[in-house]
Structure 1
């Protein structure tokens, strides 16, 4: 059995330390070459290509006639999912909805920035969006919940889910339940790079969208990068990653329990325990095998690949300050702060998409029912992106209004700057050439 990776920062040189920051999709060149012909086929062949790829990649019995989930399939899903699971989906969606309703911006605001000069913003929903819900390493109704709710709250008129079909040609039942409860009725049976291409270009069945959001494999990430000039690909969300930061006040076995949460997503995940306490590190090392004995075989295989590989394990630092620096350099998707006083650490950490504080807030709760969005930027994009939100489904327009009394002062300053930059039409538009039109406007009846 491979040993869990133990990274003592005091013994690593700069290149070895930098290696700990790399993610599975750090180099997408290989994936881009693999998905390029898939994208081309979908663009040229439409539904025919989607059916072929569903059978080839997903081993799914899909035809052109059933690429879109029917009302009867929704009804069958509700009949097949246990009532307690439906209850938990409803509970999670309730919290997610409450959180995201608070994010919804004012439709418009205007402020008087100078006497007679008004400026502000107006928010309107984007016209269409595709929500990518992965399925390759499991079923993810939680992703449906997290992507659908803010899109519905934002008022996007055309919302569709794309998700890989199961071998029998259906869609995961709980995913359909979550979609309907959240308010989404359009679901297409396609995943991977072909799904990204389908919503970018449109097919006979799949309507094109102006944006796609949702996490996916490196193949999905590569397809998004190739199609970024065709469709807005949203925040970069690839394979799962987490840092469990533990100080000397907690049991390392608790950190071990939680590092397995994201590590079990797949062998392309990244997961570290970061601590300056050797006692905590050793307790975590000792505890992990015991937790593996309580997991399913597939999830043990996935998490073992992560924790014994180059993108996981335990990072031992020399001090709290070094732990903070490593976390900020890593910029994790998920960060847990395990401490008796988590707030004491919070101010030192600026680069993390999600920060969960204390032993009662494991990533599991945030992934399903806490309320904040669990679709998060990966691959260090937390340095510039935040979690998926209502704001990802609206666009902002600047609004301005200048009164006749305020116009002369603004025109004078704008004219000077236009002349300096050499834009004669800019200058002319606020010169005496405009005055006759303004005089006529003033004399028009109200």
Structure 2
């Protein structure tokens, strides 16, 4: 039996409990120190720094400044390199994601008559330019392209650029290019890591600067976003993958173990816990994990064992369903599965989760690839104040006001009273006799 982390919650002290809530990016001090010089190099040297870091960090031998942007020929060739069934799965996923996100799109403008002759409302316009970060270090993720590009296109963003680390040889993953084109994005830069965030923020000879960057990434990306938050909007905090599987006693523990491995296999920096009050479920899960590992690719076994046998993953046995709910809400996970034959019985108890997938037929991977809701989600407790990536992340809202001659007197009276109270003479003058004279003239 592999030494999977197994914790009985009632036996843990406060410090030990607190350790269960740590994620890999909790302490970014190392990455913040190292990302700073990378950012400065990109700011000072532009394309030359991007090429140097691509060769050094991504082993992209042959990468040149002229090849930092994917060409139309590379897009065309990608469709010949990807299996037709994969292309169709991408196409189907994009259709569901688009259908879901079109429902989120706000009206371009609305106005309400708040008082007779006085109107107030909102106007929505797309952000002018947005960078979409698509990781590649531990695999290829066309699904991230789908989840980030579709809402940006639905929102009407005029300038959308994908940043993704180059593969050895300086190529872009073919499925990433396929997904980009099918989603409606034709600008893909072969740049990853902290240098990608810097390029998006400052621009280079090849890269056009962007106003916002969204998408999940490694602690390097998270650190760079934090350092550059005064230059570019870093979007929601999306770091390495994390999930909680909340299982009650209506399911088999082997199924819980199967789903526990979904996010754990992303990489050793992921977090994944099975939370259950049922000792039977916990023991069945422990027994099933070796069987499931035997059916996985070796690298994914290595990654998931690093998570489930380390400090950021494993099995937590609680004393009751209420303790399980409390654990979930304290953790505020990126992905949450309510693994139960009656998941709606539990839904009302969950207040802190970015994504809630319910029942034995809704594993995290269906949410990641096919269902429609966005799978780019806040991590490291970000679900306490953030939601999933959505169309609203790609639009900006302006308040709109319009007061007619009929509505003016009442509002002016109240505004002048408060202006006088707060001691702002110009505020008061602007709605007093001085304005009346201009309006009458």
Give the drift of 1:97: 0.4
Match of 2:51? Answer: 51
Report Cα offsets for 1:102-131 as digits up to 9, x if no partner.
000000000111111111100000000000
Aligned 1:45-124 pairs, distance under 5 A: 45-60=45-60, 61-124=62-125
Match of 1:333? Answer: 334
| TM-score, length basis structure 2 | 0.99
Give the drift of 1:146: 0.4
Structure 2 unpaired stretches of 5+: none
Report Cα offsets for 1:198-233 as digits up to 9, x if no partner.
010000000000000000000000000000000000
Which runs of at least 4 in structure 1 moved beyond 2 Å after TM superposition? Answer: none
CA distance, structure 2, for counterparts of residue 217 and residue 2 of structure 1: 27
Pair 1:133-2:153 in alignment: no
Give the drift of 1:405: 1.4
CA distance, structure 2, for counterparts of residue 185 and residue 336 of structure 1: 35
2:261 touches 2:304 (CA, 8 Å); kept in 1? yes
CA distance, structure 1, for counterparts of residue 250 and residue 69 of structure 2: 52
> Secondary structure, in 3 states, of the residue corresponding to 1:341?
coil
Pair 1:162-2:166 in alignment: no
Match of 1:353? Answer: 354
> Secondary structure, in 3 states, of the residue corresponding to 1:301?
helix
Report Cα offsets for 1:3-61 as digits up to 9, x if no partner.
00001000001111111011101011111001100000000000000000000000002
CA distance, structure 2, for counterparts of residue 232 and residue 73 of structure 1: 30
CA distance, structure 2, for counterparts of residue 288 and residue 243 of structure 1: 16
> Secondary structure, in 3 states, of the residue corresponding to 1:254?
helix
Match of 2:393? Answer: 392
Give the drift of 1:393: 0.2
Match of 2:27? Answer: 27
Structure 1 unpaired stretches of 5+: 441-446
Match of 1:36? Answer: 36
Equivalenced residues, count: 440
* 371-380 or 2-11: bigger deviation: 2-11
Give the drift of 1:2: 4.6
CA distance, structure 1, for counterparts of residue 263 and residue 423 of structure 2: 56
* 414-423 or 132-141: bigger deviation: 414-423
CA distance, structure 2, for counterparts of residue 127 and residue 73 of structure 1: 26
Match of 2:368? Answer: 367
| TM-score, length basis structure 1 | 0.98
Report Cα offsets for 1:70-128 as digits up to 9, x if no partner.
00000110111111110000000000000000000000000111111111100000000
Match of 2:316? Answer: 315
CA distance, structure 2, for counterparts of residue 395 and residue 319 of structure 1: 44
CA distance, structure 2, for counterparts of residue 62 and residue 348 of structure 1: 52
2:2 touches 2:290 (CA, 8 Å); kept in 1? no
CA RMSD of aligned residues (A): 0.7
Match of 1:305? Answer: 306
CA distance, structure 2, for counterparts of residue 96 and residue 23 of structure 1: 28
Match of 2:251? Answer: 250
Aligned 1:100-249 pairs, distance under 5 A: 100-249=101-250
Give the drift of 1:251: 0.4
CA distance, structure 2, for counterparts of residue 376 and residue 110 of structure 1: 32
CA distance, structure 2, for counterparts of residue 418 and residue 305 of structure 1: 62
> Secondary structure, in 3 states, of the residue corresponding to 2:103?
helix
